[in-house]
């Protein structure tokens, strides 16, 4: 249908991988399958106003505002994204877009906003497409939105739905595909309901290594093939764990995945150490606390120094006390973010 102008909006969360995606092929195709917890507090809100151009433009015409102000440094990212998705969204050259976006978490907190940001943007664009092509089926809508988000930032394709999302072909996960994320359909024990993720901000600086450089380093890495196979095995291991709620085994898989991601970075060419001394202090404190208290608190890491502290709702009081008393001291300016497992994006 012909639409002169309109407005759409989405709030989309970040996600934290349990089995990590690290390494990709041409076209943002993951080298191995992954699974993540969708988060809830760390989210991006994006609103787009669109207006028909008098004649289709050659490039893309848009204004971009981040937290209320124009942000020229973000424009190239959006240009690249639009270019990549334009074969699938021909309407991009027919409209002018005013994109306004803001994050729920503090700017330059060392928290990557690419997953929440790209998924919110992709959902807004799909909403426009749905207005132009009414009658679009919901299943197509969400899959294509995740497909577009993937082309923005791989892990963004796992942020649209919740509470657990898989992405990448795996022989024991039916329907899991390299093209988009899908909600995990296996049985999930109630212990994972409301699972907590307290993010300790160890280093708020610019990321030392961009994920593009990180993924590139996996190409030709001497341990790459073993790592990809390990990710497949860890997904197989995780299935019965998610079903039974066996947290001892859950911890083993999750912490090993985090350390492996960092080990790959340390053994690459070039090599990087992404942890800071305080990252290791926190890990050691978590291990000691688990030993002393019998708690099931564990950690995971992204490709940076911040630590995601994971624990069940049933241990909330005990672990919160431990975090405040012992771990916060290792955070930059004592900063941390309380998040938990979430259900995915919402339309505004
Ligand atoms: O989405 P990207 O290309 O920024 O890759 C991020 C990958 C990790 O966050 C390190 C792991 C993952 O699976 O999310």
Please list the rounded mean pLDDT of every run of 10 residues in the chain (348 residues): 94 98 96 98 97 92 96 93 97 97 82 91 98 96 98 98 98 96 98 97 84 94 98 98 98 98 97 97 98 98 96 98 98 96 98
User: Which atom belonging to ligand 1 lies closest to the Cα atom of 156?
Assistant: 1
> Ligand 1 center to residue 1 CA distance, Å?
37
Cβ of residue 116 lying under 6 Å from some atom of ligand 1? no
Quick one: pLDDT at residue 8?
A: 98
ω into residue 251 within 30 of 0, thus cis? no
- 246-284 residues labelled b (16+ CB within 10 A) or e (exposed): ebeebbebbbbbbbbbbebbeebeeebebbbebbebbbe
- Alpha carbons 155 and 157: distance in angstroms, whole number: 5
Cβ of residue 20 lying under 6 Å from some atom of ligand 1? yes
Probe target for ligand 1 pocket from 13, 28, 154, with the most ligand atoms within 8 Å of CB: 154
- Alpha carbons 149 and 292: distance in angstroms, whole number: 43
- Alpha carbons 56 and 320: distance in angstroms, whole number: 55
Cβ of residue 14 lying under 6 Å from some atom of ligand 1? no
The domains of the chain, with CATH numbers, are 5-187 (3.30.230.10), 195-340 (3.30.70.890)
- Alpha carbons 149 and 44: distance in angstroms, whole number: 13
Quick one: pLDDT at residue 64?
A: 97
Quick one: pLDDT at residue 1?
A: 81
> Ligand 1 center to residue 155 CA distance, Å?
5
Is the separation of the CB atoms in 223 and 264 below 8 Å? yes
Cβ of residue 224 lying under 6 Å from some atom of ligand 1? no
> Ligand 1 center to residue 194 CA distance, Å?
23
Radius of gyration for the alpha carbons in the chain, expressed in angstroms and rounded: 20
Ligand 1 atom 4, closest CA: 211
Token pair in block for residue 273: 């150490």
Quick one: pLDDT at residue 108?
A: 64
Cβ of residue 154 lying under 6 Å from some atom of ligand 1? yes
Phi and psi for 176 in degrees, rounded to 5? Answer: -65, 130
pTM for the predicted model, two decimal places: 0.97
Is the separation of the CB atoms in 238 and 188 below 8 Å? no
Cβ of residue 257 lying under 6 Å from some atom of ligand 1? no
Backbone dihedral region for residue 193 (phi beyond 0: left; psi -120 to 50: alpha; all else: beta): beta
Cβ of residue 197 lying under 6 Å from some atom of ligand 1? no
In terms of Cα–Cα distance, which of 232, 186, 181, 165 is closest to 31? 232
Cβ of residue 155 lying under 6 Å from some atom of ligand 1? yes
């Amino acid at each position: 249908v012909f639409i002169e102008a309109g407005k759409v909006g989405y709030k989309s969360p970040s996600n934290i991988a349990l089995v990590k995606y690290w390494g990709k092929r041409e076209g943002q195709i993951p080298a191995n399958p992954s699974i993540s917890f969708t988060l809830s507090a760390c989210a991006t809100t994006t609103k787009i106003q669109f207006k028909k151009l008098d004649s289709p433009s050659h490039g893309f015409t848009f204004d971009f505002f981040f937290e209320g102000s124009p942000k020229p440094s973000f424009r190239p990212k959006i240009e690249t994204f639009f270019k990549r998705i334009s074969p699938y969204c021909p309407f991009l050259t027919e409209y002018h877009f005013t994109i306004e976006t803001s994050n729920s978490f503090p700017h330059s907190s060392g928290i990557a906003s690419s997953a929440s940001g790209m998924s919110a943007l992709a959902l807004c664009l799909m909403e426009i497409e749905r207005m132009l092509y009414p009658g679009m089926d919901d299943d197509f809508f969400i899959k294509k939105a995740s497909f577009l988000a993937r082309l923005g930032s791989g892990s963004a394709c796992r942020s649209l739905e919740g509470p657990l999302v898989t992405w990448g072909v795996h022989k024991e996960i039916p329907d899991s595909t390299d093209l988009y994320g899908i909600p995990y359909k296996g049985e999930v024990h109630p212990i994972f309901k409301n699972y907590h993720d307290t993010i300790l901000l160890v280093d708020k600086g610019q990321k030392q290594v961009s994920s593009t450089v990180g993924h590139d380093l996996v190409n030709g890495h001497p341990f790459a093939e073993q790592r990809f196979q390990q990710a497949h095995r860890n997904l197989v291991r995780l299935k019965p764990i998610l079903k039974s709620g066996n947290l001892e085994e859950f911890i083993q898989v999750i912490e090993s995945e985090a350390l492996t991601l960092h080990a790959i970075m340390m053994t690459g060419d070039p090599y990087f150490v992404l942890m800071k001394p305080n990252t290791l202090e926190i890990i050691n404190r978590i291990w000691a606390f688990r030993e002393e208290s019998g708690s099931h608190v564990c950690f995971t890491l992204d490709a940076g120094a911040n630590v995601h502290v994971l624990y069940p709702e049933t241990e909330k009081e005990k672990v919160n006390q431990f975090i405040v008393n012992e771990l916060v001291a290792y955070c930059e300016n004592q900063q941390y973010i309380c998040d938990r497992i979430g259900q995915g994006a919402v339309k505004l």
